[in-house]
């Protein structure tokens, strides 16, 4: 048989020629639509409508869908787990006082953490910096003992106090243990006003200060003397206080802290009282009664106050080399008479 009579397969038809603007754009196929399931002409039409800049994003859509599904699954799993744990904690707290105290402490710590982050962000700090500056609660701190916590809680508190006492005794026997001042000094500094610090410095460097009491005198005062004004002095002006009218409150607080006390003894230099007795508040108190009587007193630092002032309000050179004025020591017991000083 001749070659012209043999059966030949039909030739593949060329793809349809695109016309107009479509002929200027190269043909693309998108993985968004499976082209094997649709006619070639329809697939080409859909591919032509996808911009070239979006082709990588369109190709990544299946992977993003898997990531989104995995994230949703893990979020739902975490939510169920957290809800279960919270429910168990609440149920345990309803029957166990110790668990209730721990839950309350955890809630307070979480609230303080959230409040600290919100405060930092509201002040203009970035979120990362606000979290970095956050001060987390100390895990080693001893939790507070709730009231009515039971005998075991009281016993643990007693054991903790005994351990601290044993540690103090051990340090007292250690001759190499450094002594940096009384441990109460730090707490006392937190209880002082700025003006009170100036009063302490004045008493340390200038010595005891004169003070006067005004009472009723005359024939009636010899039988029944009444107090008119107590503790009038010039400490406010000499120390340069900001609030001179609060000197009585300042002296009360310093006396409460065991730093200052008032002696019934007068100072050796009586000329210093003339300046005090000429002050307007003293003259007003004296003119308020017919027969005034002035009692001269003095304000001193206690030995504890002297050591506190030298430690906290002087430089290292001043504390070791400077000779500060002497102060009288308060009576050793209530009602004990102060011995007169030698002249």
- 102 found inside a domain: no
CA distance 295 to 265: 10
In a domain, 149, yes or no: no
| Residue 103 domain flag | no
φ, ψ of residue 229 to 5 degrees: the values are -150, 140
CB atoms within 10 A of CB 211: 23
Which helix (H) or strand (E) element contains residue 313?
A: none
Order of strands across the sheet that contains 209-216: 227-233, 209-216, 292-301, 260-263
- Rounded Cα–Cα distance for residues 149 and 125 (Å): 42
Q: Which residues contact 276 (CB under 8 A, 6 or more apart)?
A: 210, 211, 212, 232, 233, 234, 282
Q: Are 244 and 237 in contact (CB under 8 A)?
A: yes
Q: pLDDT tens string for the chain (343 positions)?
A: 445 555 565 565 565 555 544 454 455 544 444 444 445 554 555 555 555 655 565 555 566 666 766 676 667 776 767 677 777 777 776 767 777 777 777 777 777 777 777 777 777 777 777 666 665 555 445 555 555 555 566 778 888 888 888 888 887 777 776 666 788 898 999 999 999 999 999 999 999 999 999 999 888 777 788 999 999 999 999 999 999 999 999 999 999 999 999 999 999 999 999 999 999 999 999 999 989 999 999 999 999 999 999 989 988 777 776 688 999 989 864 444 444 443 3
Tokens encoding 237: 């002006």
Answer yes or no: are the C-beta atoms of 266 and 277 closer than 8 Å.
Answer: no
The enclosing domain of 244 has a CATH number of 3.30.110.190
Question: Between the CA of residue 255 and those of 173, 188, 302, 305, 336, what are the distances in Å?
Answer: 32, 12, 9, 10, 18
d(CA 327, CA 303): 8
> What range does the domain containing 271 cover?
185-321
Q: Which tokens sit at 131?
A: 């979290």
Asked if residue 173 lies in contact with residue 242, where contact means CB atoms within 8 angstroms, the answer is: no
Rounded CA separation 322/204 (Å): 11
State whether residue 40 is helix, strand or coil: helix
Predicted structure pTM score: 0.51
Q: Return the residue matching tokens 């500060």.
A: 324
- The reply to whether 73 falls in a domain is no
Contact status, residue 191 vs residue 253, Cβ threshold 8 Å: yes
Q: Are 117 and 131 in contact (CB under 8 A)?
A: yes
CB 234 within 8 Å of CB 275:
yes
Does residue 283 lie within any of the structural domains? yes
Q: What is the pLDDT of residue 37?
A: 46
Domain count, the chain: 1
Q: Are 248 and 235 in contact (CB under 8 A)?
A: no
Residue 146 lies inside a defined structural domain of this protein:
no
């Amino acid at each position: 048989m001749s070659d012209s009579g043999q059966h030949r397969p039909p030739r593949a038809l060329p793809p349809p020629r695109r016309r107009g603007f479509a002929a200027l754009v190269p043909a693309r196929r998108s993985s968004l639509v499976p082209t094997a399931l649709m006619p070639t002409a329809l697939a080409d039409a859909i591919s032509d409508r996808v911009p070239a800049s979006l082709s990588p994003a369109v190709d990544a859509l299946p992977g993003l869908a898997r990531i989104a599904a995995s994230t949703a699954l893990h979020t739902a799993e975490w939510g169920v787990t957290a809800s279960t744990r919270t429910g168990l904690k609440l149920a345990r707290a309803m029957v166990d006082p110790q668990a209730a105290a721990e839950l309350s402490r955890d809630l307070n710590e979480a609230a303080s953490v959230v409040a600290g982050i919100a405060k930092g962000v509201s002040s203009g700090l970035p979120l990362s910096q606000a979290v970095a500056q956050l001060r987390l609660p100390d895990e080693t701190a001893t939790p507070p003992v709730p009231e009515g916590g039971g005998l075991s809680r009281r016993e643990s508190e007693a054991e903790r106090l005994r351990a601290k006492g044993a540690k103090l005794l051990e340090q007292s026997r250690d001759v190499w243990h450094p002594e940096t001042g009384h441990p109460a000094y730090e707490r006392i500094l937190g209880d002082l006003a700025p003006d009170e610090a100036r009063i302490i410095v004045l008493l340390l460097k200038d010595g005891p200060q004169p003070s006067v009491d005004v009472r009723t005198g005359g024939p009636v005062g010899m039988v029944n003397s009444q107090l008119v004004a107590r503790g009038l002095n010039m400490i406010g002006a000499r120390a340069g206080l900001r609030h001179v009218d609060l000197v009585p409150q300042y002296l009360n607080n310093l006396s409460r802290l065991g730093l200052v006390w008032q002696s019934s003894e007068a100072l050796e230099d009586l000329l210093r009282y003339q300046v005090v007795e000429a002050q307007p508040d003293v003259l007003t108190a004296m003119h308020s009664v017919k027969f005034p009587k002035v009692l001269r007193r003095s304000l001193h630092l206690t030995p504890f106050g002297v050591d506190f002032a030298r430690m906290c309000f002087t430089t290292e050179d001043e504390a070791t080399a400077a000779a500060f004025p002497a102060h009288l020591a308060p009576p050793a017991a209530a009602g004990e008479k102060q011995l007169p000083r030698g002249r």
